[in-house]
Structure 1
Amino acid sequence: MKSIFIVFIVCACCSSGSGKKIRWCTVSEAEQKKCADLAKALAALLPPTALASFGRMSCVKSYSTADCVNKISANRADAVTLDAGEVYTAVKQFDLTTVAKEIYKDGGCVFAIAVVRNTELNIGSLKGWRSCHSGIRWTAGWSLPLGFLLSRNHLHWAEEQTLNQAVSTFFNASCVPGATTIVPSLCALCQGEKSYAPQRNFHCETSHNEPFYNSQGALRCLRAGKGDVAFVDHIALESIDEEEKDDYRLLCADGSKGSVNEFSRCNLGQGPGGAVVTRLNHRKIVRKFLTAIQVVFGRQGRQRQRFQLFESHSYGSNNLLFQDATDRLAVLPDDADISQILGLDYVALLKGLGHEGSTLEDSVIRWCCISAAEQRKCEQWALSIKSDPLVCVRASSMSNCIEKIKKDEVDAASLDATHAFIAGKCGLVPVATEYYGKTVALHDLKVWVRLQKKDKCCMFPSVFAVAVVRQSKKNMLLENLAGRRSCHGHMYSPAGWLLPARHILISQPNDSSPCDPSMVYRQVFWKGCLPGSKGGLCKVCVGGKEEPGTKRCVDNHNEHYYGNMGALRCLVGDLGGKSYGDVAFLEQYNLEDNIQKLSSSGWSQGLLTEDFELLCADGRRAPLSQWENCHMGAVPPNVIMTRPVLTSRVYDFLKKSQETLQSHSDLEFQLFESHSYGESDLLFKDATRCLIHTSHLDYRNILGEEFQQAVEAVFNCTHADTLKFCRQDSCSMF
């Protein structure tokens, strides 16, 4: 049996060619000793012929993980395990590649935890206190907590500052291993020995020779009373003895506190754990080496009594070579992209925190546009303001905007309530919300503060979903729509897709109760126009001549029947009066103005508001003016969504933009007007009076409980490609 096992090791390690060696990079004497023991244990299992072919594993001593990356890049070492933040830097700036991820018992990710002993502190009151971090740019010790503090406006990052300077002025003093040459105050609390010789300087280095290095070290910093808060991963909490646990509290994202055991609820976010990097031309042999040592010495290794790969306590330290909590190593395929390995949200966060250095993208706001008309308006917006530069980026739909924001291809978009829900599920957050009441002056601080303190949807005036029919079709009621033709604003729109379905379903006899609104419409209507759909729900659509090659039924303004104005056009019929629907589902605001504009634009002549009526949920019909008592439900306002780390920058841009446009009334450009571009609701709803700052609110608070429940119930059983895209979980992918 042993001989068969040795053959396996030989095959795993030697097939890549003769003369290959693995030089593992270590950052302390303890890690060097464990590495040497691994090399001895491995050599003891291999016959001399295998050793001659494979070569010995050797251990290269370095003074920090950054030094390891330099050595690997210069071909003076071959591999090292790094925190995910360091992995990103190694890949992007040093052209290294990732070959394996650490997988823990709960998956490949860690929670970012803020631990305190002082019960007076909460997550919003950390300014001026002392902080302990596991390492510079580390996932749990730096990137996730700083991203959170920035997203909630607890930490202010001025344009003229680096992030490191902003952090150094936010905390009174810190220990951030790895920040030695950046800002001195970030190393003020560190305890490592100082030396002018780099190889003997352990102060504030990412090395086990710095007592406050890594998550265990940050906890040590807190225990020693040097810091007031420690930013660590949840794995480090396991080292706290049961009798000690009552001495610590975790700071929760909502401002409350939790016990040490509540880290899955009380954390500042989740991100990828550690990974092994090497040079691109060495990745095959490192993969085979990792596979071999894991089979032999891993958790289930047949020779683990000889050597334990994921255990370090016997060396008087922790997390040597790998995290001690590692359950297994997931060896990665060649085609694994860094965004897949680390996750889209995490990569976008690192870019937002400047991990790639300053780029042109850092100085602009990239706004998402979904049609040629929106692009024209956006470009005019860019020319009309004197705030930060605005770049207009095209997408095919609101759903595509969500994907592009998540992939860091654009920064922000105004989304209807259903898409805001999807975006929230995808990890995006609100920046501001469209306000449809009386104009709120930006300088009216009393009004501004009062609006910000409220937490419910009722703070925002709603619009309403209505069903509109031609007045001449007297026999049409909600209960006899079967076999008719329908017009809908667009796929996933609250008024055109989500809310009408439940009323139509109730009114139909012998229904099988599908929960997908699109299925409801397919069952009830003969055909229709639901932009973004397919099949019979596209047959009434007419497309457009805005751009060559535009397909019919696209989910944007390039389809003439898209949106509120489009659904109204659909009800009236195309310019030839042929392709039309019998009932239109849209939002009530600006409905009468849209009818007048449709008539004056030449789309149709002589239309009056009296030519249309509403279908009521109780079976009645009513004039358009009675929408308050005859509607399909309230529609929460549109929400401007972005990635968490960008909330302050996007809001500052919007605030400056509004101030500029309000103070220059002579400008032709109007942010909340679209008819001069031949459409309605471009970039924002035309009913918008101003944008209200709402980054302090959760998207669910803005949508309101009733709408939230309705949309949650639908998407629990309805497929959405964007949600599928967003559910790609790097924590459990490999």
Structure 2
Amino acid sequence: MQQGAALSLSLSPLHRAEWCCLYSNRSCIVQSLVFGKDRKRSFPITIIARKKFRWCTLSDGEQRKCSHLARTLQSVLPSNDPFSKVSCVRAHNTQDCMSKIRGNKADAVSLDAGDVYTAVRLYNLAVVAKEHHAEGSCVFAVAVARRGTLNINNLKGTRSCHNGARWTSGWNIPLGFLLSKNLLNWDEEQPLSKVVSGFFNESCIPGIGISSPNLCELCQGTRSYVREKNHFCESSSNEPFSDSNGAFRCLKSGAGDVAFLDHLAIMGATDSELQQFELLCRDGSTASLQSYRTCNLGQGPSKGVVTRWHMRRITKKFLTLITNLFGRSGRQKSRLALFTSELYGGKNLLFHDYTQRLQILADDMELTGILGLDYVALLKGLGHEGISLDHSVIRWCCISSAEMRKCEDWALSVRSDPLVCVQATSLTGCIEMIKSNEADAVSLDATHAYIAGKCGLQPAVVEYWVSFIDLPYLGFPSLYALAIAKKSMKAVSLIDLSGRRSCHGSLYSPAGWLLLSKYTVRAPVNETWACDINSAYKNYFWKGCMPGADDGLCKVCVGWEEGGRVNGKCAANHDERYYGNMGALRCLVGDPSGRSFGDVAFLEHHSLLNNIANLESSGWAYGFTASDFELLCPNGERVPLTEWKTCNLGLIPPSVVMTRPVITARIQDFLMKSQEFLRTDEDSTFHLFKNVKPNGEGDLLFKDATSCLLPVGHLTLEDILGEHFMQLSDSVFDCTNAGTQSNSSSDTLGLIC
């Protein structure tokens, strides 16, 4: 086809136009496109002369390697191949590369994941591939120091070396960790760089800019008033202390006291380096450089290749071609080693030297799927898209209209602190919203806190109550899981509840789901356990109400009725009247008409006597007192409700407020100020831990029995939940024999996280 020839194509409406194509081994561009919104249309496409594919380079070494790649492609490909002519476009730094690609002056570049996020969000570029190495497509962010000099808790006032500003291992993960542990304080009214400037004495953070001069003080690049000749503190390998190898070089030279970099830079450490340096671990200990898998500040995504949206297909073809030719198993790797840089006077040129292969990504992959929800939420928390109103308010997650009403009263009562109430449909929904930065915090029972921890969330405060003196959980009072039956139902025994009608607070509740399993579906005498706890419960009980479950475990549920219609049946929130501890008790006695009841209820012992009294005061059921119920004991006995200390299903750790790591300190500060303000405000009619129960709702936002909230300090979630509870949770959620059933417990974490 000759230049200027026209070709008519029928194109469907697209989310983004494909402005370029490959046709008969020649490049072409669409001269004029106006996409129809609701119908297919034909457009003239004019073929023009072939254009070179342009790779953006960030240093003289990259330029040399790219030029060698271009010459080698020209020698091994036919002259009419669209990639037989490749050009190398020299850029000043990573931001300059992004600008050149957006402005159609270059086509592609491989960037740190932090810059990938910037390229997508601020430059409207697309990610087409990720680098894979021995650890997959993730890197460990590590802190390195000379042996015996530092630990992670005493970095204030030290000299720091970072691989790059807003880069995964040198900025995002380390600062996220320091903020989460309250080692670094940021009120978000000032740039984070200014806070970092006050934390470290001197630094080299390539790419940080000139707003905080001491953050560039240690850098060694050439200084010049001419931009193209200035390499000082730039994110280019012409800055000797740039990237992870440069940050390690900064530490080794004696310029810095601590270096923040990825594990790839220390994988090839010499014997001398192994003796001189060590890793700083999250718990304050140190470890050898070889222990990066267990001693690190967190994991993040590896580098990715970005391009313009309409160049996605061409860039993928180019990457596939050069990998097949010059990759680890390439047909022409003797001519050029794509993932080796020594011949060009540098390291990690074009791609990282430890790269094993390039993973080509699907066009429809969301950024959260490419970089991970945790990482994207971290970047938003660090203000990568600028500080906005979202960073000045606390967004509390509620699961029902009743909780929303209480939350809104809370927001009006704490006038000095901005609180916004957002709603999910369940506690697992709140975990998802917090993880994706659509909410900030929620109080979770122990099982949901375990799930949240596996999803990357972190504890901020613990619900505390002081009714009893036994404190098995590091000073936190215990809750007890109980099985209760009506005194008149003499045949009901905990030893064999199979075929009974059951009442559970909710799916995943500690008392009605996790601890209960030891005495029912996972009991040694029970053969229904097939490593799928939810299916096992369905087979074990005749029917019941376990809000959030399905099938037979929803048949006893009642939802709520309005206008002759039943709504919210079996919902894992207060819209289901049998939800929670109060709901399980209601389920046991039946609805106001006396129907839809269970034979046994599983709930927590706190507030139990108040809830029984509430049955009558709320108009739900009349005539019931504590003497009408009995506890079911593991040995088969039945005893009065007052014997819960000796007749129970086990201890339940306290509820925990969970949030994203980077804003843990902010959530702690808000809650401490909030409860102190409400405690001293004599005019306030709002009570954080008590609920006005016109319809009998209980445990809204926090448990009614809570006395106060305590900051977790340096305690981990494992410390709070306790070894026994963690082991029990692991044994259920780590089970591997549940097959592919979407509702199996082993799939739960994957579905939520």
TM-score by length of 1: 0.92
Aligned residue among 499, 506, 514 for 1:498: 514
Is 1:42 the equivalent of 2:53?
no
| Structure 1 Cα separation of the partners of residues 306 and 505 of structure 2 | 49
Q: In structure 1, which of residues 83, 90, 109 is the aligned counterpart of residue 119 of structure 2?
A: 90
String of CA shifts for 1:36-76, please: whole Å, max 9, x gaps.
111000011123333xx556211111211111111111111
Q: 3-state SS of the aligned residue for 2:515? A: helix
The partner residue of 2:257 within 228, 242, 266 is 228
User: Superposed, which structure 2 residues align to 1:254-273 within 5 Å?
Assistant: 254-273=283-302
Residue pairs, 1:471-482, within 5 angstroms: 471-482=487-498
Partner of 1:673: 690
Check if 1:424 corresponds to 2:453.
Answer: yes
Any conservation in 2 of the 1:486–1:583 contact (CA below 8 Å)?
yes
SS of 2:407's partner is helix
Counterpart of 1:602 (choices 595, 619, 631) is 619
The structural deviation recorded for 1:372 is 1.0
1:349 aligns with 2:378: yes
Residue of structure 2 in register with 1:443 after alignment = none
CA distance in 2 between counterparts of 1:560 and 1:340 reads: 37
Alignment-derived partner of residue 473 in structure 2: 457
What code does the residue aligned with 1:404 have? M
**Cα distance in 2 for residues equivalent to 1:511 and 1:310:** 54
Q: Does residue 14 of the first structure (1) align with residue 25 of the second (2)?
A: yes
Deviation at 1:725, TM superposition (A): 3.0
Match of 1:574 in 2: 591
Hey, what does 1:108 align to over in structure 2? 137
SS of structure 2 residue aligned to 1:95? coil
Identify the residue that residue 731 of structure 1 maps to in structure 2. Answer: none
Q: 1:328 to 1:369 in 2, by over 3 A?
A: same
Aligned 8 A contact 1:60 1:77 in 2 = yes
Aligned twin of 1:687: 705
Task: Spell out, residue by residue over 1:254-285, the C-alpha distance to the aligned partner (whole angstroms, 9 max, x if none).
Answer: 11101011111111000011111111122221
CA–CA separation in structure 1 for the residues paired with 2:399 and 2:308: 41
Runs of 5+ unmatched residues, structure 1: 1-9, 441-450, 728-734
Q: Whose helix fraction is larger, Structure 1's or Structure 2's?
A: 1
Instruction: Report if the CA contact (8 A) 1:25-1:77 is conserved.
Output: yes
Give the stretch that moved more between structures: 414-423 or 153-162. Answer: 153-162
Residues 464 and 516 of structure 1, relative CA distance in 2, 3 Å threshold: farther
Q: Whole-Å Cα distance in 2 between the matches of residues 11 and 509 of structure 1? A: 67
Q: CA deviation at 1:501?
A: 2.4
How far is the alpha carbon of 1:235 from its aligned partner?
A: 0.5
SS in 1 for 2:701: coil
Q: Provide the residue aligned with 1:659 in structure 2.
A: 676
State the Cα distance separating 1:474 from its structure 2 match.
2.7
Pick one of 527, 545, 549 that aligns with 1:529.
545
Partners of 2:269 and 2:250 in 1: how far apart?
13
1:213-612 maps to which residues of 2 (within 5 A)?
213-437=242-466, 457-504=473-520, 511-545=527-561, 550-612=567-629
Secondary structure of 1:478's match?
coil
Q: 527-536 or 384-393: which moved more?
A: 384-393
Cα displacement (A) at 1:480: 4.4
Q: 1:54 to 1:526 in 2, by over 3 A?
A: closer
What is the DSSP-based 3-state SS (H/G/I as helix, E as strand, rest coil) of the residue aligned with 2:560? coil
Instruction: Provide the C-alpha distance between the structure 1 equivalents of 2:346 and 2:221, rounded to a whole number of angstroms.
Output: 15
> Quick one: structure 1 residues 636 and 546, their matched pair in 2 at CA, closer, same or farther if it must change by over 3 Å?
farther
Work out the CA distance in 2 between the residues paired with 1:283 and 1:241: 40
Q: Secondary structure at the match of 2:674?
A: helix
Distance 1:276 1:480, change over 3 A: closer
Percent identical across equivalent pairs? 55
Residue among 76, 86, 89 paired with 1:60: 89
Deviates more, 1:369-378 or 1:124-133: 369-378
Q: What's 1:157 paired with?
A: 186
SS of 2:460's equivalent? strand
Cα shift at 1:510? 6.0
Q: Against the structure 1 CA distance between its residues 24 and 519, is the aligned structure 2 distance closer, same or farther, given a 3 Å change threshold?
A: closer
Q: Which has the higher contact order (CA 8 A, sep 6+)?
A: 1
1:642 aligns with 2:656: no
| SS of equivalent to 2:130 | strand
Which amino acid is the alignment partner of residue 616 of structure 2? S
Aligned equivalent of 1:27: 58
Distance 1:86 1:526 in 2: 55
Larger deviation, residues 680-689 vs 277-286:
277-286
Tell me, in whole angstroms, the C-alpha distance in 1 between the residues paired with 2:537 and 2:254: 64
Q: Contact 2:517–2:523 at 8 Å: present in 1 too? A: no
In the alignment, residue 701 of structure 2 is paired with which amino acid?
L
Alignment correspondent of 2:43: none
Q: Residues 73 and 84 of structure 2 are in contact (CA less than 8 Å); yes or no, is this contact kept in structure 1?
A: no
Tell me the SS of whatever aligns to 1:536: helix
- 2:751 maps to 725
One-letter amino acid matched to 1:501: S
State the match for 1:446 in structure 2: none
Gap change, CA 1:521 and 1:228, over 3 Å in 2: same
Amino acid at match of 2:576: E
Of the three residues 705, 724, 737, the one matched with 1:706 is 724
- Would you say the 8 A contact 1:647–1:695 is kept in 2? no
Identify the residue that residue 7 of structure 1 maps to in structure 2. Answer: none
In structure 2, how many angstroms separate the alpha carbons of the residues matched to 1:395 and 1:284?
A: 38
Q: Is the deviation greater in 600-609 or in 410-419?
A: 600-609
Cα separation, 2, equivalents of 1:491 and 1:261: 42
2:731 aligns to what SS in structure 1?
Answer: helix
Q: Is the 8 A contact 1:673 1:686 kept in 2?
A: yes
Of 111, 123, 128, the residue aligned with 2:152 is 123
Q: Is the 8 A contact 1:132 1:222 kept in 2?
A: yes
1:447 alignment counterpart = none
1:285 match: secondary structure: helix
Matched residue type, 1:703: L
Distance 1:575 1:110, change over 3 A: same
Contact 2:70 2:85 in 1 (8 A): yes
Assess, with a 3 A threshold, how the Cα gap between structure 1 residues 119 and 360 changes in structure 2: closer, same or farther.
same
Moved more, 17-26 or 571-580: 17-26
Q: Are the structure 2 counterparts of residues 653 and 506 from structure 1 closer, same or farther at C-alpha, using a change threshold of 3 Å?
A: closer
Q: Counterpart of 1:532 in 2: which secondary structure?
A: coil
Amino acid at match of 1:44: S
Change (3 A) 1:256 1:13: farther
Residue 658 of structure 1, CA deviation: 0.7
Taking a change above 3 Å as real, the CA distance of residues 292 and 519 of structure 1, as seen in their structure-2 partners, is closer
Computed over aligned residues only, the root mean square deviation of the Cα atoms, in angstroms, reads 2.2
2:80 match: secondary structure: helix
CA contact (8 A) 1:430 1:695 kept: no
Query: How many angstroms does 1:519 deviate by?
Result: 4.1
TM-score by structure 2 length?
0.90
Q: Deviations over 1:357-413 (max 9, x none)?
A: 112211111111111111111111111102431111111111111111111111111
**Aligned to 2:644, what secondary structure does the other structure show?**
helix
Equivalent position SS for 1:668? coil
Instruction: Tell me how far apart the structure 2 counterparts of residues 99 and 641 of structure 1 sit (CA, whole Å).
Output: 34
Shift in alpha-carbon separation, 1:401–1:517, aligned structure 2, 3 A:
same
Q: Secondary structure at the match of 2:645?
A: helix
